[in-house]
Amino acid sequence: MAMQAPNYGASGSMPPNYSQEEHAPLIPKTSTEGKFTPNAHYNDVWATGLFLLNIAAFTGLNIYSFKSYANNLANPFVVLEDGSRVATNAFTIDHSLSVLALTSVAVTFGLAFGYFILIQRKTAFLVKFSFLCSVLFTIGLGVLQIMSGSLFWGALSVAAGVVILFFYKLWAERMPFTVLLLQTVTSVTRKYPGTLAVAFSGLFTQIAWTTFWVFSLVINYSVFQRISNCRADDSGNKSRVVCDNNQLYMVMIYLNFVMFWNTEVIKNVVHVTISGVFGVYYFFEGSAAGAPESPTLASSKRALTTSFGSICFGSLLIALLQTLRYILNSLKSDSDDGFMQFLAMCADCILSCLEGLFEIFNKFAFTQVAIYGKPFVTAAKDTWEMIKDRGVDAIVNDSLAGNVLGMGTLSVALLSGLYGYLFIKLVQPGFYEKDDETLVIVLVVLVEMILGAAMMSVPNNVIDSGVTTTFVALAEDPQTLHRTKPDLYRQIEVHYPGVTHNVRGDRVIRD
């Protein structure tokens, strides 16, 4: 039987009956030793199996490529038919590159942690400021597109920014509710510092995974470029790489797919873990049973066991969309046909919109997974029912909170890029050549910005997950908040009248 959100009925004043396993949130029945006692089965096991199979395939590919690359190191040149020698490896790692990598990790970590603290202390200012910045950025981007000749897309961006600004009053009315949620989330974070540990564990895991993947990408590219006999072709309108077979192309597509899927899994494991902690706070803080002192470990255990298959399932859907976008972008950049480039651009735009919607949808669905232990399909169906009732509120709240987090990601990325630029200019590393000055600077700055954005993305999940969980819990069961935290309920009610009834239409019973 499909698991559904708990229905507490019209009385609503009594605590939920956790003996009804199908409807009970997976939160502790007692506060004894802070243990979770979920009554859940392993969900979406096939997705876990597929994920592990994918990891095994990735490992096998790397073993083959690393061995081939090691052989190339022993024989670094290939003798061609005309007697000339060609290097089999196009890159080396020197001391200065290692210094840049290590210091970049430290700098981006510091920037990400600093912005995380800033969100806790300047909530209201950041909500308003980030909203205005997002509008100005959208309009400015449109102006730049018009100046570069993209009249249609530029006009669309400017129009979108103007429309959002025109409805500023509508957004402003929702800002106090978002501020209140953010403040509540940061206070819970202070109460449960384990949420920070989870976020930074995910951060370190993401850094380790990204670093290994970059080395894997470079080595596999070097090996399969040689196997596929790839070479530069300047016969068309632009220079491109052509190969005798498609092995290199297929490997690059697969490696990007692995990157997308693993990154999504890491991010969503953090989200489900944090959501479980915030679920404990929502349902038990202020109740007779009391909240456990440290629910983080049990929530993490559930995310990595019974709910891991559901996480892999939902993450796979996003990864497939991202891989399709990668393929389309590759076709667009390699094609000389203007019409095909236009079709690829349109398809990429559609997929980009779908990806954004899926990411928002998945975030709410994974919150259902975290609180109620549902399989992904069931969680998705219940999320759809919630969105039909609270869709506008969910999107507006998510957008306002997302602006704050997005501005942090952009700020950290830009400052990280600036660090990369200063490192090149001041240190003059060994891999830096004056003849290739522009290319080296662009590549280093780009890599630094990507690293900064990746570093900020996982800490953002702490606040984002908390806001999402609180919103879902309010939509499903506002009665619990009224009973356990009446002061907070009254504050929310002032800014968000919809809190007086749940998604099934049951009104809060006042004492």
Question: Using one digit for the tens of pLDDT, what is the confidence trace for 94-111?
Answer: 567 677 777 887 888 888
**In this predicted model, which residue has the larger pLDDT, 432 or 478?**
478
- Residue 45: pLDDT band with limits 50, 70, 90: very high
Which of 306-320, 341-355, 410-424 bottoms out in mean pLDDT, i.e. has the lowest? 341-355
Residue in 193, 187, 202, 367 with CA at minimum distance from that of residue 294 = 193
Residue in 237, 358, 289, 254 with CA at minimum distance from that of residue 34 = 289
d(CA 421, CA 414): 11
**In this predicted model, which residue has the larger pLDDT, 340 or 238?**
340
Q: What is the pTM of this model?
A: 0.74
pLDDT for residue 20: 38
pLDDT for residue 199: 85
d(CA 194, CA 192): 5
**Other beta carbons within 10 Å of 250:** 12
pLDDT for residue 58: 94
- Residue 52: pLDDT band with limits 50, 70, 90: very high
**In this predicted model, which residue has the larger pLDDT, 254 or 34?**
254
Q: In one letter, which amino acid is 5? A: A
Residue in 52, 45, 53 with CA at minimum distance from that of residue 376 = 45
Q: Residues 60-77: pLDDT tens digits?
A: 999 988 888 777 665 554
Average pLDDT, the chain: 77
Helices (H) and strands (E) in the chain, counts: 14, 4
pLDDT for residue 243: 66
- Residue 444: pLDDT band with limits 50, 70, 90: confident
Where is 244: in which H helix or E strand?
none
- Proportion of the chain above pLDDT 70, given as a percent: 76
**In this predicted model, which residue has the larger pLDDT, 15 or 99?**
99
pLDDT for residue 336: 62
Tokens of 451: 């690293």
d(CA 498, CA 46): 39
Q: Residues 246-292: pLDDT tens digits?
A: 788 888 899 999 999 999 999 899 999 999 999 988 888 777 777 67
pLDDT for residue 34: 32
